[in-house]
Chain A
Amino acid sequence: MYSRRRPVGGWAISPASVLDVTSETRRAAQRLADSGNDTIAAVVRGGGGSAIVQAALDDFAARATPLAQWSSARAQAVADGTESALRAYDQAQVEMADGSDRSQVGSDRFAPRIAW
Chain B
Amino acid sequence: MRRLVTAPSGARVDTEAVFDAARAVGNHAEAHAGAGAEATTSWFRVADGYSAPETQQLLGSMEPVRTASESFSTAAQAVARALTTFAIEAEAAEARRARAATSIASFRTVAKGDDSWQQDPALVAQNSVLTSEVAAAEQELCEAEEACARAIASIPVDAPTVMGGAATAPGAVPPSGGGEWGYPTEVSRVILNPFFFIMMTPEEVTAWWDTVSPESQAIFITTFPALIGGKDGLPAKVRDEANRSLLVSLRTALEAEEERLAAEEENFAEISVQGYRNDGQAFRAESGGGTCCTGNGLS
A contact set with B: CB distance below 8 Å: 10-18, 20-22, 24-25, 28-29, 31-32, 35-36, 38-39, 42-43, 45-50, 52-53, 55-57, 59-60, 62-71, 73-75, 77-78, 81-82, 84, 112-116
Q: Is the beta-carbon distance between B149 and A113 smaller than 8 angstroms? A: no
Given A64-B76, A67-B174, are A42 and B51 neighbors across the interface (CB < 8 Å)?
no
Q: Shortest Cβ distance from A81 into chain B, in angstroms?
A: 4
Contacts of B198 in A (CB 8 A): 112-113, 115-116
Contacts of B64 in A (CB 8 A): 71, 74
Q: Is the beta-carbon distance between B24 and A75 smaller than 8 angstroms? A: no
Q: Shortest Cβ distance from B26 into chain A, in angstroms?
A: 9
Question: A84 CA to B199 CA in the complex, in Å?
Answer: 14
Q: Is the beta-carbon distance between A74 and B145 smaller than 8 angstroms? A: no
- For the residues of B in contact with A, the DSSP-based class is helix
Partner of A81 from B36, B52, B149, B193 at Cβ < 8 Å: B193
**Could you jot down 26 A-B contacts, CB within 8 Å?**
A11-B51, A17-B50, A18-B46, A18-B50, A21-B45, A28-B38, A35-B35, A43-B21, A46-B17, A49-B17, A50-B145, A52-B146, A53-B18, A59-B152, A64-B76, A65-B182, A66-B181, A67-B160, A67-B174, A75-B39, A78-B61, A81-B194, A82-B58, A84-B195, A112-B198, A115-B53
Partner of A46 from B25, B45, B51 at Cβ < 8 Å: B25
Q: Is the beta-carbon distance between B49 and A67 smaller than 8 angstroms? A: no
Q: How many A-B residue pairs have CB under 8 A?
A: 221
Q: Is the beta-carbon distance between B192 and A64 smaller than 8 angstroms? A: no
Q: A48-B13, A56-B149 are in contact. List 6 more A-B contacts (CB 8 A).
A: A10-B52, A18-B49, A48-B14, A49-B13, A71-B39, A115-B52
Question: A71 CA to B43 CA in the complex, in Å?
Answer: 14
Q: Which 9 A-B pairs have the closest CB atoms?
A: A17-B49, A46-B21, A14-B49, A28-B39, A42-B24, A66-B182, A48-B18, A35-B32, A56-B149
* 8 A Cβ contacts from B36-75 to A: 36, 38-39, 42-43, 45-46, 48-54, 57-58, 61-62, 64-65, 68-69, 71-73, 75
Given A46-B18, A73-B181, are A68 and B58 neighbors across the interface (CB < 8 Å)?
no
Question: A43 CA to B152 CA in the complex, in Å?
Answer: 11
Chain B contributes a number of interface residues (CB within 8 A of A) equal to 72
Q: Is the beta-carbon distance between A77 and B42 smaller than 8 angstroms? A: no
Question: A45 CA to B25 CA in the complex, in Å?
Answer: 9
Q: Is the beta-carbon distance between B28 and A56 smaller than 8 angstroms? A: no
Q: Shortest Cβ distance from A86 into chain B, in angstroms?
A: 9
Contact with A along B138-158 (1 / 0, CB 8 A): 000000011011101101011
Which of A22, A47, A112 has the largest count of B CB atoms less than 10 A from its CB? Answer: A47
